[in-house]
Structure 1
Amino acid sequence: MKTTISEVYKHAEKEVKIGAWIANKRSSGKIAFLQFRDGSGFIQGVVVKADVSEDVFQTAKTVTQESSVYVTGVVQKDERSPLGYELLVTGIEVLHHAVDYPITPKEHGTEFLMDNRHLWLRSRRQHAVMKIRNEIIRATYEFFNENGFSKVDPPILTGSAPEGTSELFATKYFDEDAYLSQSGQLYMEAAAMALGKVFSFGPTFRAEKSKTRRHLIEFWMIEPEMAFTEFDENLEVQEQYVAYIVQAVLKNCKLELKTLGRDTEKLEKITAPFPRITYDDAIVFLHEKGFDDIKWGDDFGAPHETAIAESYDKPVFITHYPTSLKPFYMQPDPNRDDVVLCADLIAPEGYGEIIGGSERIHDFELLKQRLEEHNLEMDAYKWYLELRQYGSVPHSGFGLGLERTVAWISGVEHVRESIPFPRLLNRLYP
């Protein structure tokens, strides 16, 4: 019976055949222990010299790390195994004999591992992170599909920028300038006026020269937009969504979280609603914590966000930022024109902002005024302004950065481990 490692539980006490790679091995006289991986998981194979042919045992002793094989064996329960099962090997057929695999079980430096990212992905830890990433993506589609959202794909090449062009990658689009998208939001607003509730999921690009553990040049965003949705309703969707994906990972990635040594008690606390603190109150709080240098009107850096997040065991919304700090399209607070109806969602444990969102301006004249104040070309935003001319409604949306969210939920220190092939300030290889 041909199967996969993740499905061996269906074949207890039966002989199975698995296509796999040798992740590691050790031998002791008359017994050899092989660690097999097949993409779906890892399992230990035990080869007992007395129970197999001489050829099979010799193969077990000489097969090299990352050689590919077909292994046959009897599935046996084993409480000591993280998987709960091991394989009593009866046969090994080597498909390809790997030589001098560069990533050995010893310690390697980060730069070496990043240079060999195409191989590092095979390791047990990186495998666990990628499986958690996949579960977050699966649960994202499930959440929005179950809540009446339609998926819409905004363009990656754009002729204008939602937040200015200073951090965009420019390219030539035949005889005119174009940019790689830093957000699909403006297009998603148009889609929301057609379909009501929409979400996008795709790559975004920021030409930001930052080397922090929270930043990537290319990353993936989930960007919902909702018609007839005001500020507080927007926050409710955000907290429900984040709680949903965390609970999905807890339910479906137990083995991966264990592999990573993740403290799941912290994740179990992530249920809606989430706490909220205004920007004004956050400034007061930071002064009380000794951050005397920050003043009203300053943006928060990583130390400020971490200090605020440490006061809660759930993600926390920081709301009502100064108008001067935020993009042109955010709706002003009706009670004061110096702040906007926006919120950043800060993850616990020092992972920083994972969501930015707001109610969008729906008044034509106000949006036109904002565009002028930001010195943006009116012609480039003509279509965006027209959304406020033909049946404008209050609407809101947000963007969740997938990689920061993966890093937080899986507990890895650096966001570069949360994407298969990270693009960093000085890294475009492999």
Structure 2
Amino acid sequence: MKPTIEQISRHVDQTITLGCWLANKRSSGKIAFLQLRDGTGFIQGIVVKSDVGEELFQKAKGLTQESSMYVEGVVKTDERSPSGFELQVTGLEIIHEAVDYPITPKEHGTEFLMDHRHLWMRSKKQHAILRIRNEIIRATYAFFDKEGFVKIDPPILTGNSAEGTTNLFHTKYFDENAYLSQSGQLYLEAAAMAFNRVFSFGPTFRAEKSKTRRHLIEFWMIEPEMAFTDHEESLQIQEQYVSHIAKSVIDHCPLELEALDRDITKLQQIQAPFPRLTYDEAIVFLRGQGFDIAWGEDLGAPHETAIAESYDKPVFITHYPLGIKSFYMKPDPENPEVALCADLIAPEGYGEIIGGSQRIDDFELLEQRFEEHGLSEDAYRWYLELRQYGSVPHSGFGLGLERTVAWMSGIEHVRETIPFPRLLNRLYP
């Protein structure tokens, strides 16, 4: 197999052949500098006219942006290079010459770049963001495997809502109504009763007409559910998990973080335990900051940002009023007006990245919640039966992948954190 740029350190002073594309180039008299990429990384190729001859040198100088090629050369160490290496080119075979590549080094508008997303993801910063996304996914599987979780895949087509909302994409399932899933949680609760600790990782859909920088129509969720686990234990697992993926990004994505000019010190502070604030304490704090907010109102993005700015780490906001939370959340036995739940708010203005709770495990209480929320008992009969046959205390949470990628990458908008974002007015490409 041909070596890749990612493996380049294994081939110092060796002659190798790279399959690659031309990201950019410049020339200085008798030397051409080729910025090469192969999908695993970027490296500079040096073409010296006196070493390669006129024909090859002119071929190198005439290369167009994003042309594909095989490049032969000797790997050399170079402390000035971000990767620590460069390639002294000795041969070049063009595979395909790209003509009039639309994304040039000049500035382009966001809509133009989104229309060319299939090409934009080749650029260095977009490439770095999606590599960080990949590392968070890899670290997620490693963490839950180490902690004894079983991967379970809930259905994407469902007959009802996980949270009783109307923000669902409707479709026909032969002669029945069906919806694209907004969460796999209810199915994972069933799986937890079979396997104890489970998690899912998959796409979810919200038909919310939102245009904010934090929202996507289609996004990916990591959703663990745990039997015999109370609210406090769940919070500990959440902070251990987030700390783990932050460390993995620091350890395995140094070049990507550098390409994004990410302040590493902010990521290094993401270590458990995380500070906690009850909803009551949050209301008092927000009023002290000049917010006009009544007890019982949900917290919006400005509220979350104001709270997060007081901390260097993510902060848990716990014990929200039952009235603004989902039907399945267990009331706090010491104060039944609030739920045993928490949202994890990321620092630097990135907002909520995790929502979680202890789930109701009492059959009669859950049945009462169905009535209060106007939910069909027939549609949820299977979910009720989980409380009928060996019910146990159990908890779970969901982490939004794209918001987490945006936060750890230090970028402003979640639309750059997924290969092909689905936004309110964007279904192309």
Give TM-score, length-normalised by structure 2.
0.99
5 Å-filtered alignment, 1:271-290, equals 271-290=271-290
Between the aligned partners of 1:48 and 1:127, the Cα distance in structure 2 is 29
Q: Helix, strand or coil for the counterpart of 1:75?
A: strand
Partner of 1:73: 73
Q: Helix, strand or coil for the counterpart of 2:411?
A: coil
Partner of 2:19: 19
| C-alpha distance after superposition, 1:201-244 (max 9, x if no partner) | 00000000100000000000000000000000000000000000
Between the aligned partners of 2:295 and 2:162, the Cα distance in structure 1 is 25
Note the C-alpha offset of 1:156: 0.3
5 Å-filtered alignment, 1:144-163, equals 144-163=144-163
5 Å-filtered alignment, 1:31-430, equals 31-291=31-291, 293-430=292-429
Q: Helix, strand or coil for the counterpart of 2:107?
A: coil
Between the aligned partners of 2:34 and 2:90, the Cα distance in structure 1 is 13
Between the aligned partners of 1:377 and 1:175, the Cα distance in structure 2 is 19
Q: Helix, strand or coil for the counterpart of 2:108?
A: coil
Deviating 4+ runs (over 2 angstroms): none
Q: Helix, strand or coil for the counterpart of 2:153?
A: coil
Between the aligned partners of 2:106 and 2:88, the Cα distance in structure 1 is 27
Between the aligned partners of 1:55 and 1:198, the Cα distance in structure 2 is 61
Q: Helix, strand or coil for the counterpart of 2:392?
A: coil
5+ residue gaps, structure 2: none
Give TM-score, length-normalised by structure 1.
0.99
Note the C-alpha offset of 1:256: 0.5
Give 1:299's aligned amino acid.
D
| C-alpha distance after superposition, 1:392-416 (max 9, x if no partner) | 0000000000000000001111000
Of stretches 350-359 and 330-339 in structure 1, the one that deviates more from structure 2 is 330-339
| C-alpha distance after superposition, 1:310-331 (max 9, x if no partner) | 1110000000000011010000
Between the aligned partners of 2:413 and 2:165, the Cα distance in structure 1 is 27
| C-alpha distance after superposition, 1:373-401 (max 9, x if no partner) | 00011100000000000000000000000
Give 2:400's aligned amino acid.
G
Between the aligned partners of 2:224 and 2:36, the Cα distance in structure 1 is 40
Note the C-alpha offset of 1:58: 1.0
Between the aligned partners of 1:220 and 1:369, the Cα distance in structure 2 is 31
Q: Helix, strand or coil for the counterpart of 2:295?
A: coil
Between the aligned partners of 2:191 and 2:420, the Cα distance in structure 1 is 30
Between the aligned partners of 2:193 and 2:307, the Cα distance in structure 1 is 36
Note the C-alpha offset of 1:162: 1.3
Give 2:73's aligned amino acid.
G
Note the C-alpha offset of 1:166: 1.1
Between the aligned partners of 1:151 and 1:53, the Cα distance in structure 2 is 57
Between the aligned partners of 2:377 and 2:315, the Cα distance in structure 1 is 36
Between the aligned partners of 1:341 and 1:56, the Cα distance in structure 2 is 69
Give 2:268's aligned amino acid.
E
Between the aligned partners of 2:320 and 2:336, the Cα distance in structure 1 is 11
| C-alpha distance after superposition, 1:110-133 (max 9, x if no partner) | 000000000000000001001100
5+ residue gaps, structure 1: none
